[in-house]
Chains A and B, each alone.
Chain A
Amino acid sequence: MKAFTQHTGIAAPMDRANVDTDMIIPKQFLKSIKRTGFGKNLFDELRYLDEGQPDQECTGRPLNPEFPLNFARYKGASVLLTRKNFGCGSSREHAPWALEDFGFRSVIAPSFAEIFYNNCFKNGILPITLSEEVVEQLFQEMYAHEGYALAIDLEAQTVTTPGGDVFAFDIDEFRKHCLLNGLDDIGLTLEHADAIKAYETRRRKKAPWLFDAVRG
């Protein structure tokens, strides 16, 4: 997994609450059996004026001129600024895959849906929770200044604005550790294989039916 330590990038708006995973990446694109290539269909129904199809070349599709990610000023944005409960809905990891493939390294919101939040960490994306007031301030500053870039420091757990305001954020220690070092958590868990086996032995004695095989 890609590590995340520090990142400075242009912020772009997704200025609404409850952005759901169907909006982030509509279902027809989930038919892919790959992990990559979802970026061109990020926010597909908002970004383009036509209905997108899987495996379609997107360069000739009509862009929605009112959708901020299509504005020249947000070109190359890598920090998404949004409102509360971002990523609600399905468990599709295609949502962070699409954000990452588009170029986003961090999403800042007052709150996130849990499964989406968790999925971000598996893909080198840092979801940052800041208060509604702070997020509102960032929105206002971003709208007022073209090229508005935020500096994120995971080690220090801070977001710094171009004006020098520093906002601290919370993050689980384990997730921070994995993201800072780009660690494969399957490998980490397998270091505890003995503990898993010991648990199975204990549990099997008490509840043997839990270990009955699924048969064909």
Chain B
Amino acid sequence: MGINGLASSNGVSNDNEEQKMSARTLYDKLWDAHLVQQRDDGSALIYIDRHIIHEVTSPQAFEGLRLAGRKPWRVDSILATPDHNVPTSALERASGVQGIQDPVSLIQVQTLDDNCDEFGIVEYKINDHRQGIVHVIGPESGASLPGMTIVCGDSHTATNGALGALAHGIGTSEVEHVMATQCLVAKKMKNMLVKVEGVLGEGVTSKDVILAIIGKIGTAGGTGYAIEFGGQVFRDMSMEGRMTVCNMAIEAGARAGMVAVDQTTIDYVKGRPYAPKGEDWDKAVEAWRDLVSDEGADFDKVIELHADDILPQVSWGTSPEMVVPVHASVPDPDQESDPVKREGMKRALDYMGLKAGQPMTAINLDRVFIGSCTNSRIEDIRAAAAVAKGRKVASSIKQAMVVPGSGQVKAQAEKEGLHLILLEAGFEWREPGCSMCLAMNADKLGAGEHCASTSNRNFEGRQGYGGRTHLVSPAMAAAAAIAGHFVDVRELTATAA
């Protein structure tokens, strides 16, 4: 099926076949533009425009370069920042790297600094006002641009695909490979179109859209594909919303997710520190206008959802596909016919301490986390603050934290006074970093604790040993903090504050 849902292969004439051959998807175009060498065995050498690195997946790559006596091919294509290990309390951050209390984390952040200094790589260090989560600072600084190939040793690199770029995560050996050669050995993925038409209802956000998509296709549904998100819902979405969607392409199994370039993209990029300027800007915009799938371009798979069917989502289990609308109940494994899946559901219920048939709104929460590369941008903070305004975090909640994605997001939120609204309501306002999304720093769940989290993974132990994660949107997380349990944000905001 083509992008407009037209049949393209059955009973078409030769003319149409020719047209189909020349009509390319956005992914096809990005691939073609970066092809250095196509090999007979099906593999290819792909050029990488931007390489973003952080402290967790780079030290062994630098060590590899040193051992082989190699230097980065294009050192000025790399941007580094520490994000996974950094503390988010202002007190611990005050004395920079040396102030990190966890000695193992300190060594890792220090190692990134040392490696960047040694190789001459630009790094936004721990207390630089531009520091932040890799996938937030890329687009925000303009280091990530439409039409680029962007990699990082982190699976949520797909976030950058929102710009109309080909962006995906790589392993540490590939981090070393890209540093040494500016290329990746890759095989072309298949094309998938996920199309959502219509207009999202009040209180339904980009996070609910991507969770609903993952709930539909499963965590392996996109394996082997590059996903393009198309349709009115994505056209109407802000860049921040598109980033949330592309961010979680990997939770649907796809390494890369992307959205075609439109005026929203171009307006977002304009004026960013690394965005092209002057004559280059005009040339770039002209080139970027072509970063859309051609009419009649062929997708190997098309998935369609309608905005009317998407409600605020909450995950109940230990895989992002284990998700239901907030008014639903915890599913019953005995209704599942696939034995492997049924066992997985039973194990998930056991780990989560839930019972089949229990209403999602009856799950009492211990902590709330608003942040992560999925939902820590200014729009997310605004959404949380809008719900929090004039309300109070429930006394049963041990901790409700808001962790901005970058120093820039933090500064903008403070300029708008959002931090005051959140603090007044009883939320903590933290320094930027990955924080409780994966709990590599001090921000973590205790065993058995339930958390409403705007992050991307609800795996066992992800947010802390024995911790129980429920994935939600920022508005739903804020509403849950106020209520002490899950609640439809639309019902909460319908009542006067």
Contact = CB atoms under 8 A, between A and B. Distances in A.
A41 interface: no
Interface in B139-193: 143, 145, 147-148, 153-155, 169-174, 176-177, 180-183, 185, 187
A159 interface: no
Contacts of A23: 459-461
Contacts of B145: 209-210
Nearest to B68: A186
Interface in B301-322: 319
Find the residue from A54, A185, A214 having the highest chain B CB count within 10 A: A214
A115 B344 contact: no
B47 A119 contact: no
B42 A85 contact: no
A111 B253 CA distance: 11
B398 interface: no
Interface stretch (B21-29, B100-108, B363-371): B100-108
Contacts of B39: 174
A91 B68 contact: no
Given A90-B155, A189-B45, A26 B461 contact: yes
A213 B133 CA distance: 21
B183 A189 contact: yes
Interface string B24-55: 00000000010011010111010101000000
A30 to B, nearest CB: 5
Nearest to A1: B173
Contacts of A35: 60, 63, 172
Interface stretch (A12-20, A64-72, A150-158): A12-20
The winner among A30, A51, A84, A203 for most chain B CB atoms within 10 A is A30
Nearest to A114: B255
A105 interface: no
Interface string B42-86: 110101010000001101100100001010011011110000110
Given A23-B460, A174-B39, A174-B42, A214 B173 contact: no
Contacts of A93: 57, 60, 153, 171-173
Contacts of A17: 340-341, 344
B276 interface: yes
A162 interface: no
A91 B57 contact: yes
Given A45-B465, A88-B253, A199 B47 contact: yes
A186 B155 contact: no
A172 B187 contact: yes
Contacts of A172: 41-43, 187
A54 B158 CA distance: 29
A186 B176 contact: yes
A33 B108 contact: yes
Nearest to B110: A33
A212 to B, nearest CB: 7
A122 B185 CA distance: 12
Interface in B209-224: 219-220, 223-224
Contacts of B187: 172
Contact of B154 (A90, A206, A209): A90
Contacts of A190: 180-181
B172 A113 contact: no
Contacts of A31: 56, 85, 102, 104-105, 107-108, 440
A134 to B, nearest CB: 14
Interface in A28-49: 28, 30-35, 45
B59 A84 contact: no
Contacts of B107: 31, 33
Contacts of B41: 172-174, 177
B461 A45 contact: yes
A181 B63 CA distance: 23
Among B148, B174, B466, find the residue whose CB has the most chain A CB atoms closer than 10 A.
B174
Interface string A191-209: 0110110011001001111
A160 interface: no
A210 B343 contact: no
Contacts of B466: 51
Nearest to A83: B340
A17 B219 CA distance: 11
B78 A214 contact: yes
A215 interface: yes
Residue with the greatest number of chain B CB neighbours at <10 A, chosen from A20, A186, A193, A208: A186
A189 B122 CA distance: 25
A118 interface: yes
A119 B457 contact: no
A176 to B, nearest CB: 9
A92 interface: yes
A75 interface: no
8 contacts: A22-B462, A31-B102, A33-B107, A174-B39, A174-B43, A189-B45, A192-B36, A196-B181
Interface of B: 33, 36-37, 39, 41-43, 45, 47, 49, 56-57, 59-60, 63, 68, 70, 73-74, 76-79, 84-85, 102, 104-105, 107-108, 111, 122, 143, 145, 147-148, 153-155, 169-174, 176-177, 180-183, 185, 187, 219-220, 223-224, 250, 253, 255, 274, 276, 280-281, 283-284, 287, 319, 340-341, 343-344, 347, 438-440, 457, 459-462, 465-466
Given A31-B56, A32-B104, A212-B276, 13 more contacts: A22-B460, A31-B102, A45-B465, A118-B174, A172-B42, A174-B185, A190-B180, A195-B36, A207-B147, A207-B283, A209-B284, A212-B274, A214-B78
